[in-house]
Amino acid sequence: MKTILHRAALPACCAALLLLAAPAARADAPQINNRGNDEKKFAERVGEAVVRAARKIPKKIELEKYAWEDYKKDRKQLKITMTWDGAESLFSKTKRQTSTIVVKVDVSDDKKWEVLNVDYEDTGAGKPSAAKIQALIKEMNDKK
C-alpha cells in the first residue's frame, strides 16, 4: 500500500516543482531597455531566451554571430544565429541545431525601445513554440 501511495505522489510533486520553477526561469528574460554596454552579452541572452522559449529541451546553447541593422525609419533589427544541441529523433539524425532569430525593435524613443516582433527559424525537427516566443516579447518589453 505504501508503494502505491509513493508512486501516486511522485508525479504530483514533479508537477508542483515544474510550476514553481517556470516563473523563475521566465524572470530572466532580457529587458530591451536594460541592455547594458556589452552588446554581445545582450545578444547572447536574447538568443538563449528565444531558443529556450521555442524549444523544449535545448542544451549547450551558443551564440554564433549577431548584428544590429537599420531596416526602416526608427526601426532596427537584431539578427542572431545560435547553435544548440537537441535530442536525436526519428526526424533529425544530427544533434547540433542552428537557429536564426530576427528581433524587430522600435527605436523611435531613445529612452524606451520596444520589441515589435521576433522571427524564428531553426533546423530542429517539429515546430517551435510560437506562443511562447510571443509571450517572451511582452517580458522583453517590461510588460508583466
Q: Which residue has the cell 508542483?
A: 16
Instruction: Tell me how far CA of residue 125 lies from CA of 50, 59, 88, 119, in angstroms.
Output: 17, 15, 9, 17
pLDDT in tens, 118-131: 999 999 888 999 99
pLDDT in tens, 41-95: 999 999 999 999 999 888 899 999 999 999 899 999 999 999 998 866 666 555 7
Structurally, the chain folds into a number of domains equal to: 1
pLDDT in tens, 1-14: 555 545 555 455 44
| C-alpha 132: how far from chain center | 8
The answer to whether 29 touches 140, Cβ cutoff 8 Å, is: yes
Q: Which domain holds residue 36?
A: 2-140
pTM: 0.76
- Residue 70 — φ and ψ, nearest 5°? -85, 130
The answer to whether 60 touches 142, Cβ cutoff 8 Å, is: no
Q: What grid cell was written down for 95?
A: 544533434
pLDDT in tens, 15-49: 444 444 443 344 478 999 888 899 999 999 999 99
